[in-house]
Amino acid sequence: MIATPKLPGYNAAVETFRDGEYPMLRDAVYLDHAGTTPYSKSLMDRFATDMTSNLFGNPHSASASSQLSTSRIEDVRLRVLQFCNADPHEFDVVFVANATAGIKLVAEAMRSRPGGFDYVYHQSSHTSLVGVREEARRSACLDDRGVEGWIGGTSLFNGVAGREDDDGAVLFAYPAQSNMDGQRLPLSWAGQARGPSSAGRRIYTLLDAAAFASTSLLDLGCAETAPDFTVLSFYKIFGFPDLGALIVRREAEDAFVSRRYFGGGTVDMVVCVKEQWHAPKSQALHERLEDGTLPIHSIIALDAALDIHKRLFGSMADVAAHTSFLSKRLYNGLSSLRHGNGDAVCTLYSPAPAAGSGPAVAFNLRSSQGGWVSLAEVEKLAMLKQFHIRTGGVCNPGGIASALGLEPWEMKRNFSSGFRCGSENDIMGGKPTGVIRASLGAMSTVSDVDSFVGFIREFYLDESVPASPPQATMRRRDTSRLHVHSIHVYPIKSCGGFQVPAGVDWEVRPEGLAWDREWCLVHQGSGQVLSQKRYPRMSLVRPHLDFEHGELRVTYTGPVPPDTPRQICVPLSQNPTVFRPTTPSPSRSSRVCGEEITPQTYASPSINAFFSSVLGVPCVLARFPAGGQGKSMRHAKAHLQNHQKRPAPVTKMPGAFPAPPSPPDSDTESTPRRILLANESPILAISLASVDALNGEIRRNGGKGVLPAVFRANMVIASEEEARPYVEDTWTRLRIGAVEFEMLGACRRCHMVCIDQETAERSEEPFVTLSKTRRFEGKVFFGTHMGWRPGEAGGPVPSVRVGEGVVAEW
């Protein structure tokens, strides 16, 4: 039986807050975002006291305030060495912005050497180490065996006659701990690889300790075996300050002699009028490398961080023992999860904890049918449940490629089919494109780990024992007397809806319902089209289409800031004088769902000031009318999902689980449909029966039901009789009055459905329950996309009306 470890050095106060006050796993940054943990509060208090009781001036002058800064900085420099058990006679500390800046300093110095340098790096390197290769003349990326072989004498950069054809320097770099999966690499390599190679070349070693040092003692006690250069990031250890260090073995200082650039503070004299000459500072190395003013206050904050961290968490050896206990628990917890059919839920990439890896577990999830679960989907749910995990490529290209078995051609294929770091479509060609990484730190607790494992169990473990596949069904017509319950358009993308009044015939166009998503708000700086996901208050911006006065009246229903009207009017007509002249410069294009578009932006300062003020974000109103060309035109992306293809799935509530995996998404539609600013398709419909079923499920679990409005549908379909929920998944066509529609596939959902459209408040539901009951192949669906099917040309203008009968075919 394993209990919470009682480690020496943890005082009673720490022990109490370890027990459950932190229901989170933190990814790498160990500060609570609200800054209210005992640790961050003590740290901030200490720093604030230091700041308010002392005056710190810019170093390098004689004033008392300047002298105070200088002496404090020198004290902290020494403390950093002590923290790493390093002898100040053997090592120097260069303060840098982050680990990457330290790596760049080394790369820049190596590049400036007369013969340049060759670069050898381990495949588990962070992107920031990989990038050094672009400065090198030649480079090699090696796995463990490759490194061992090279240290043992295998030559890498052969010229004629199998001999290394060069006598320039070599830089060898590797991470002490992989930031991808926590794997630790031998620290002994740093000493073994150094020195003259068999071919007589000078080899320098660079250890990236950014991930390692956050939960382990970085011990530079033996200068003979220590790396020449070690980089780390203090924010990864202490959460604050944002500062890094490059620790240089004094014996390797000569690596910097050829560095060319010099900045303020690094030189004793500079001549530039008539003659070009300068004398670099000659005493300590850090004086020559720290360009410009040091981050004085960050360095002083590091003093406080070293103290408070030690007081609350004990030594780094204590932290290491604590986190390694927790990571074993996490690893074992995740690897023991099994579906009802016996298959593992998690595919783990991290080495087993016995191998002494760091406290991070990298994994992916599989459904009971064997399909991979989308990383983006896991991240959305984790966010709602307040777990701070990281998903994707995690800045470790070599580690990811080898863990996932991704070949260069696959990565390039994924790239050319639109995959980018952070894409939603993260399962490509039947393989995940990244990993889920949960890391633990000094503040993590047993209950953090247990609740995270419980979270994976609750949402991703399928207890059901496989049943025989459902029978194929015949094409039929619905008999449950469906009708249009309500019709909504969203004139401004992501803002409130406009409900079409009863008795009004509303025009249907190929690109959607008239006036739907024709406007949007564009961030003035980034050009990004604003979304409610980021700015929930957009739901309180309510547009009203007033055809009598020919205007779009926009009201803000939340508290209005001073000097801001509650309402403004925008003309419906497309009078060109209200728009800014469109200069076809690339800087003026915007992005919606990652797609580049060119909307017409409004020139009116009062209109733009209204939106900027009520939303608290600098933005402009823009219009994207139908009939545009080029980047003023968009196409639908919706398509039938596999779970909708026949045989029709038996939709059981709860627990409809993923359909069998099938080939990658294929778009069967031949001519693409045009859309305006809707995310995926012309029209989105939901059924009240499904909303009711979902709400029933939410209530059964003690939650509060949601209004249909959270799904932001254009049409809400209801039935006069008891209707089966989720039949809309199986519809292929719909006739509303005389107008025919074609179903274009189920609508994939994100946590935007959790925003209450009346109050703009966020909660967990309905996404959490949807994730349990409406997940297919790792993605969550609710509602259905559809589009008008034009009949014979020359007919009346197609329209729909509230109350009209609906006939579904499937």
- Residues in touch with ligand PLP (CB under 6 A): 98-100, 126, 128, 175, 179, 208, 210-211, 233, 244
The minimum distance between CB 134 and ligand PLP, in angstroms, equals 16
The minimum distance between CB 102 and ligand PLP, in angstroms, equals 8
Nearer to ligand PLP, 210 or 743 (CB): 210
Burial 626-662 (b: 16+ CB within 10 A, else e): eebeeebbbebbbbbbbbbeeebbebebeebbbbebe
Burial (0-12, 13-18, 19+ Cβ within 10 Å), 701: exposed
Print the SS3 string covering 347-389: EECCCCHHHCCCCEEEEEEECCCCCECCHHHHHHHHHHCCCCC
Which residues are CB-neighbours of 309 under 8 A, at least 6 positions away? 39, 43, 237, 238, 442
Burial (0-12, 13-18, 19+ Cβ within 10 Å), 275: exposed
Catalytically annotated residue among 141, 395, 593, 750: 395
The minimum distance between CB 231 and ligand PLP, in angstroms, equals 7
Burial (0-12, 13-18, 19+ Cβ within 10 Å), 37: buried
Which residues are CB-neighbours of 350 under 8 A, at least 6 positions away? 181, 182, 183, 331, 357, 360, 361, 362, 363
Nearer to ligand PLP, 243 or 513 (CB): 243
CA angle 516, 517, 522 (to 5 degrees): 160
Nearer to ligand PLP, 245 or 686 (CB): 245
The minimum distance between CB 56 and ligand PLP, in angstroms, equals 24
Distance CA 740, CA 796 (A): 13
84 in active site:
no
Nearer to ligand PLP, 70 or 179 (CB): 179
Nearer to ligand PLP, 392 or 649 (CB): 392
The minimum distance between CB 47 and ligand PLP, in angstroms, equals 20
CA dihedral 668, 669, 675, 678 (to 10 degrees): -20
Instruction: Name the residue among 58, 130, 521 with its Cα closest to residue 297.
Output: 58
Nearer to ligand PLP, 111 or 126 (CB): 126
Nearer to ligand PLP, 208 or 379 (CB): 208
| Helices 296-313 + 64-83 axis angle, to 10 | 40
Which residues are CB-neighbours of 205 under 8 A, at least 6 positions away? 171, 172, 173, 189, 190, 191, 193, 194, 227, 228, 229
Nearer to ligand PLP, 176 or 482 (CB): 176
Distance CA 87, CA 101 (A): 23
The minimum distance between CB 776 and ligand PLP, in angstroms, equals 35
Structure tokens at 701: 């679990």
* C-alpha pair distances (Å), 779 with each of 381, 401, 725, 726, 783: 11, 24, 19, 16, 13
Structure tokens at 711: 């799904």
Structure tokens at 230: 């070690």
Q: Which helix (H) or strand (E) holds 612?
A: helix 605-615
Nearer to ligand PLP, 96 or 378 (CB): 96
The minimum distance between CB 77 and ligand PLP, in angstroms, equals 19
The minimum distance between CB 402 and ligand PLP, in angstroms, equals 16
Helix, strand, coil percentages, rounded to 5, for the chain: 30, 25, 45
The minimum distance between CB 268 and ligand PLP, in angstroms, equals 30
Which residues are CB-neighbours of 473 under 8 A, at least 6 positions away? 646, 647, 648, 730, 810
Nearer to ligand PLP, 126 or 749 (CB): 126
The minimum distance between CB 101 and ligand PLP, in angstroms, equals 7
The length of the chain in residues reads 810
Burial 190-224 (b: 16+ CB within 10 A, else e): bbbbbeebebebbbbbbbbbbbbbbbbbbebeeee
Bridge partner list, 280: 267
The minimum distance between CB 311 and ligand PLP, in angstroms, equals 25
In the chain, the amino acid numbered 4 is T
Nearer to ligand PLP, 227 or 766 (CB): 227
Catalytic sites, residue numbers: 395
